[in-house]
């Protein structure tokens, strides 16, 4: 009887969340039963409504595993969970129709509806995201966001082995995780379940793009805007046009793009896409330092920004002129070298310079931050000159993409346990501190000494992780925050000012 209680609870929660109407109750119940291999339902069933949708779905999936209806494999369980929730989902055309009816009221009404739908449908993994450790760390650049990512479950060896076997089959549909063909796709071993996935069509620069939320959001309303065409990432004039058109349509959101080169780009460079959301990062509020004008773009205010990475901020009420100014800076930067600070535009024919752009509306004007990037490597820095250096790899070794650029550290799950061992070391307790944390921990012990106690140690370690992330961003900055680096930055902006 327990399984029927869970089924009824899910149906009632679907009604409460307005995923379905009361008139849909019997239909939804029968559809869920069919997903579980059940062909009947008792006349009287208790209904628990104190459990939320993710917990109820987990209970149904666990039942299916216990009855050997599906194997105990992560992807198989995800496929069933997604199919169960698709019972409660409207068709894509209905979602789009409702979205744009609400958009006529205002854009926030539309995105509120779609975000709530994506959460209630269990597409956004709210239960898993709640496992993340998140806090703010004060630095000279403002409050950086720190997240230890615990939301994605680890896969067992059997699952990993099956994924390797699936790759040998050559199945290439959808082509990648961001293709439009993911909408409603059941999933398979090695490719995530998307039966309950929905997208909103968005027109950007006369191209078909689609708007969705990330299933593992890192901040409020973390969205992904993707091209309908499976094409490589590219930063060009069209990028700036599309980013500004998006914030014009959704002025309560920012939007930005990973850069389009390895090392300094994101994890997916094979599909043109952007990320945005309703959140203000520390970089967005960072103060301007050196203002300058560009002769060819009199309607554009330009300034460098006080930030560990090298940022040029442009602001204008003239969208076309702002696009042209951003494109001019991109073209200039792509061919710019300054050997005094290790910046080389090319190695033979291989390009190294690109930009990470972020757009937003600010007091009725368009604003774009252009983060200068370079992916050159050397024997001393094989992972990248402007990449986290070896002494911070114990905290962050991965590439610095758009989210990190703006001031949010997405740190590996291993740190939850490892930082606990660091805290024990600082308190002179028995510990299993990792060797690569040892020097850092000794420095903290010397720095804080008598301040270290059971009541303060966690706060101290978190603070020092924030300082390490600040160092990560400084490593990734092409112009360092010292006199030499800022003088070199000024040479570049002086060149721009002559345009």
Q: What is the rounded (10 degree) CA torsion for 59, 65, 67, 69?
A: 110
What is d(CA 182, CA 192) in angstroms, rounded to the nearest whole number? 9
DSSP 8-state secondary structure symbol assigned to residue 315: E
Question: 5-48, pLDDT tens digit by residue?
Answer: 999 999 999 999 999 999 999 999 999 999 999 999 998 888 76
CB neighbours of residue 487 within 10 Å: 12
CB contact burial 29-50 (16+ within 10 A = b; e otherwise): bebbbebbebeeeeeeeeeeee
State mean pLDDT over 262-276. 94
Write the DSSP assignment of 137-159 as a string of letters.
EEETTEEEEEEE---SPPPPHHH
* Residue that is written with structure tokens 């010292």 in the block: 482
Long-range Cβ pairs for the range 131-139 (8 Å, 24+): 133/416, 135/462, 136/466, 137/462, 137/463, 137/465, 137/466, 137/467, 137/469, 137/470, 138/463, 138/466, 139/466, 139/467, 139/470
Report pTM: 0.95
165 vs 313, higher pLDDT: 313
Residue 167 pLDDT level (bands cut at 50, 70, 90): confident
CA–CA distance from 148 to each of 111, 133, 265, 395, 410 (Å)? 27, 5, 21, 10, 6
Domain residue spans of the chain: 2-69
Judged against a pLDDT cut of 90, whether residue 266 lies above it is answered with no
Q: What is the rounded (10 degree) CA torsion for 337, 340, 342, 344?
A: 20
168 vs 355, higher pLDDT: 355
Strand partners, 209: 202, 227
Contact 386, 261 (CB under 8 A): no
Cβ contacts of 480 within 8 Å, gap of 6 or more: 341, 474, 486
Cis bond leading into 448, ω under 30°?
A: no
| SS3 call for 6 | helix
Res 401: pLDDT: 95
154 vs 65, higher pLDDT: 65
Question: 139-154, pLDDT tens digit by residue?
Answer: 999 999 999 999 977 7
CB contact burial 406-419 (16+ within 10 A = b; e otherwise): bbbbbbebebeebb
User: For a pLDDT cut of 90, what percent of the chain falls above it?
Assistant: 92
Res 498: pLDDT: 87
Q: What are phi and psi of 200, to 5 degrees?
A: -110, 130
CB neighbours of residue 173 within 10 Å: 10
Contact 279, 254 (CB under 8 A): yes
């Amino acid at each position: 009887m327990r399984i029927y209680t869970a089924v009824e609870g899910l149906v009632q929660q679907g009604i409460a969340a307005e995923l379905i109407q009361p008139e849909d109750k019997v239909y939804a119940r029968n559809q869920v039963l069919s997903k579980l291999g059940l062909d009947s339902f008792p006349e009287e069933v208790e209904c628990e409504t104190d459990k939320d949708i993710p917990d109820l779905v987990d209970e149904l999936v666990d039942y299916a595993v216990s009855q050997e209806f599906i194997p105990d494999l992560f992807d198989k369980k995800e496929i069933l969970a997604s199919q169960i929730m698709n019972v409660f989902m409207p068709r894509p055309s209905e979602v789009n129709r409702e979205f744009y009816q609400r958009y006529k009221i205002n854009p926030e009404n539309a995105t509120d509806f779609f975000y709530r739908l994506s959460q209630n449908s269990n597409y956004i993994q709210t239960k898993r995201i709640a496992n993340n450790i998140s806090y703010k760390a004060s630095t000279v650049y403002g409050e950086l966001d720190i997240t230890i990512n615990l939301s994605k479950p680890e896969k067992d060896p059997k699952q990993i082995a099956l994924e390797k076997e699936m790759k040998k089959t050559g199945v290439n549909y959808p082509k990648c995780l961001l293709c439009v063909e993911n909408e409603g796709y059941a999933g398979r071993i090695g490719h995530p379940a998307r039966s309950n996935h929905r997208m909103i069509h968005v027109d950007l620069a006369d191209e078909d793009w689609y708007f969705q939320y990330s299933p593992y959001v890192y901040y409020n309303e973390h969205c992904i805007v993707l091209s309908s065409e499976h094409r490589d990432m590219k930063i060009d004039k069209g990028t700036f046009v599309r980013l500004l058109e998006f914030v014009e349509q959704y002025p309560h959101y920012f939007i930005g793009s990973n850069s389009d080169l390895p090392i300094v780009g994101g994890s997916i460079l094979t599909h043109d896409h952007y990320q945005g959301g309703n959140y203000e990062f520390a970089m967005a509020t960072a103060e301007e330092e050196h203002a300058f004008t560009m002769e060819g773009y009199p309607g554009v205010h330009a300034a460098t920004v006080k930030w560990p990475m090298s940022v040029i901020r442009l602001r204008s009420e003239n969208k076309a002129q702002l696009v042209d100014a951003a494109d001019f800076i991109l073209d200039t930067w792509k061919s710019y070298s300054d050997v005094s600070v290790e910046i080389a535009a090319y190695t033979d024919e291989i390009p190294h310079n690109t930009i990470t752009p972020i757009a937003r509306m600010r007091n009725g004007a368009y604003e774009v931050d252009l983060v200068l990037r370079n992916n050159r490597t050397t024997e001393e820095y094989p992972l990248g000159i402007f990449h986290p250096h070896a002494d911070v790899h114990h905290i962050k070794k991965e590439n610095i993409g758009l989210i990190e650029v703006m001031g949010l550290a997405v740190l590996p799950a291993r740190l939850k346990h490892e930082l606990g061992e660091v805290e024990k070391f600082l308190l002179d307790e028995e510990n299993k501190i990792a060797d690569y944390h040892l020097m850092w921990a000794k420095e903290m012990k010397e720095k804080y000494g008598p301040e270290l106690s059971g009541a303060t140690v966690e706060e101290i370690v978190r603070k020092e992780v924030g300082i390490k992330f600040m160092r990560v961003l400084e490593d990734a900055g092409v112009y360092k925050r010292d006199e030499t680096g800022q003088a070199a930055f000024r040479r570049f902006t002086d060149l721009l000012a002559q345009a």
